[in-house]
A and B are shown apart, each in its own frame.
Chain A
Amino acid sequence: MTVSDLKQSTADSPKPKINWARMEEADNFAKTVKLFRQGKYDADSFRRFRLQHGAYGTRMTGDYAMVRVKLPAGEIYPHQFEKISQLSERYSIGSAHFSTRENIQLHWVILEDVSEIFRELAEVGLTSREACGNSVRNVMCSPMSGVCTAEEFDATPYALATAKFFLRNPMAQNLPRKFKFNFTCCEKHGMVRMVDVGLIPQIKEIDGTSQRGFKIFLGGGLGNRSFVGHQLEDFTPEEDLLYTSIAVMRIFDRLGDRKNLARNRMRYLVNDMGWEKFQNLVLKERAVVRATQSVITQLDVDHTPDEIKRPIRISDESGSGTPDGYTRWLKTNTETQKQSDYRTVFITLEAGDITSSQLHSLSDIIRDFSSEGKARAGFVQNVALRYVHEDDLPRLYSKLLEIGLAKSGALTMTAPIGCSGTTSCNLALTNSHRLAKEIQRKFLELKLDEDDDLRDSSIKISGCPNSCGQHGIATIGFFGGGARLGKDMYANYQMLLGGRSDGDTMLGQICHRVPAKRVIPVILKIIELFKEHKKPNDTLQSWIHRVATNSEDSEIKTLNDIKKAIDPLTIPPTKEEDPDFYLDYGSDTSYHTKTGKGECAA
Chain B
Amino acid sequence: MRCLTDSGKITTDVDSLRSEIRDKSVRVIDVRREDDYKKDHISTAVNLPLANLLSDDSPDRVLKLVNSMGIDDETRVVVYDDTFGALASRVAWTLEYLGHSDVSLLETTYSNWKSLGLENDSQTPEIQNKEHSMKLQPDILATSDYLETAKQRDDVILIDNRERLNFLEQHIPGAISLPYRTLASSDKILRPKEDMKRLLDNRGVAGDSEIITYCGSVGTLSGLAYYALKTAGLPNAKLYVRSFKEWKSLQKPTVKQEDANYWDLSAE
Contacts and interface: CB of A to CB of B under 8 A. Distances in A.
B164 A92 contact: yes
Nearest to B189: A1
A462 interface: no
Interface residues of B, number: 35
Interface band, chain A: 35 or more
Contact of A5 (B187, B204, B258): B187
B84 interface: yes
B199 interface: yes
Given A3-B112, A33-B202, A594-B259, A90 B264 contact: no
Interface in B233-268: 257-268
Contact of A86 (B186, B202, B259, B264): B186
B43 interface: no
Nearest to B111: A3
A253 interface: no
Interface string A419-448: 011111000000101100100000000000
Interface stretch (B14-22, B92-100, B151-159, B174-182): B174-182
A417 to B, nearest CB: 15
A113 interface: yes
Contacts of A30: 198, 202
A350 interface: yes
B261 A431 contact: yes
A122 interface: no
A337 interface: no
A201 B260 CA distance: 42
A366 B255 CA distance: 42
A349 B202 CA distance: 34
Contacts of A294: none
A58 B184 CA distance: 26
B148 interface: no
A110 interface: yes
Contact of A354 (B182, B203, B257, B267): B267
A442 B158 CA distance: 43
A2 B111 CA distance: 7
A353 B164 CA distance: 16
Interface stretch (A93-101, A127-135, A311-319): A93-101
A89 interface: yes
B115 interface: yes
B109 interface: yes
Contacts of B163: 89, 93-94
Contacts of A92: 164
Grouping DSSP codes into helix (H, G, I), strand (E, B) and loop, the A interface class, with mixed when no group exceeds half, is: mixed
A327 to B, nearest CB: 26
A113 B115 CA distance: 32
Given A6-B187, A586-B261, A108 B268 contact: no
A61 interface: yes
Interface string A504-515: 000000000000
A90 B198 CA distance: 15
Contact of B268 (A112, A115, A355, A584): A355
A94 B261 contact: no
B46 to A, nearest CB: 23
A107 interface: yes
Interface in A198-243: none
B264 A433 contact: yes
Counting chain A CB atoms within 10 Å of each CB, the highest count among B187, B264, B268 belongs to B264
Interface string A340-362: 00000000011001110010000
Contacts of A112: 202-204
A116 interface: yes
B265 A107 contact: yes
B258 A433 contact: no
Contacts, number: 117
Given A6-B186, A93-B163, A1 B109 contact: yes
B84 A1 contact: yes
A60 B260 contact: yes
A97 B204 CA distance: 29
Contacts of B184: 1
A95 B202 contact: no
Given A6-B115, A90-B182, A92-B164, A110 B177 contact: yes
B165 interface: yes
Interface in A574-599: 584-587, 594
Contacts of A585: 264
Contact of A424 (B112, B164, B177, B265): B265
A275 interface: no
Contacts of A86: 181, 186
B168 interface: yes
B267 A350 contact: yes
A97 B265 contact: yes
Contacts of B265: 93, 95, 97, 107-108, 353, 420, 423-424, 433
A500 interface: no
Nearest to A105: B265
A361 to B, nearest CB: 12
A434 B268 CA distance: 12
B260 A424 contact: yes
Contacts of A116: 198-199, 202
B266 A94 contact: yes
Contacts of A108: 164-165, 168, 262, 265
A432 to B, nearest CB: 10
A91 interface: yes
A16 B109 CA distance: 32
A112 B206 CA distance: 14
Contacts of B182: 90-91, 113
A437 B189 CA distance: 36
Interface string B178-222: 010110101101000000001100111000000000000000000
Contacts of A91: 179, 182
Interface in B133-170: 163-165, 168
A545 interface: no
A180 interface: no
Contact of A423 (B112, B181, B202, B264): B264
Given A60-B260, A422-B260, A423-B264, A90 B181 contact: yes
Nearest to B258: A60
A349 B267 contact: yes
A59 interface: yes
B249 to A, nearest CB: 23
B266 A93 contact: yes
A495 B189 CA distance: 51
B259 A59 contact: yes
Contacts of B186: 5-6, 86
Interface string A136-174: 000000000000000000000000000000000000000
Contacts of A5: 186-187
Given A93-B165, A434-B261, A113 B266 contact: no
Contact of A434 (B164, B187, B258, B264): B264
Given A6-B186, A350-B267, A61 B164 contact: no
15 contacts: A1-B84, A59-B260, A61-B257, A89-B163, A94-B164, A95-B268, A108-B262, A110-B176, A112-B204, A113-B182, A422-B260, A423-B262, A433-B265, A586-B261, A587-B261
Given A90-B179, A95-B266, A107-B265, 14 more contacts: A58-B260, A60-B257, A86-B181, A89-B163, A93-B165, A93-B262, A108-B164, A108-B168, A112-B202, A113-B182, A113-B203, A116-B199, A420-B265, A587-B261
The 9 A-B residue pairs whose C-beta atoms are closest, nearest first, are A353-B267, A434-B264, A586-B261, A423-B265, A95-B267, A59-B260, A89-B181, A586-B264, A355-B267
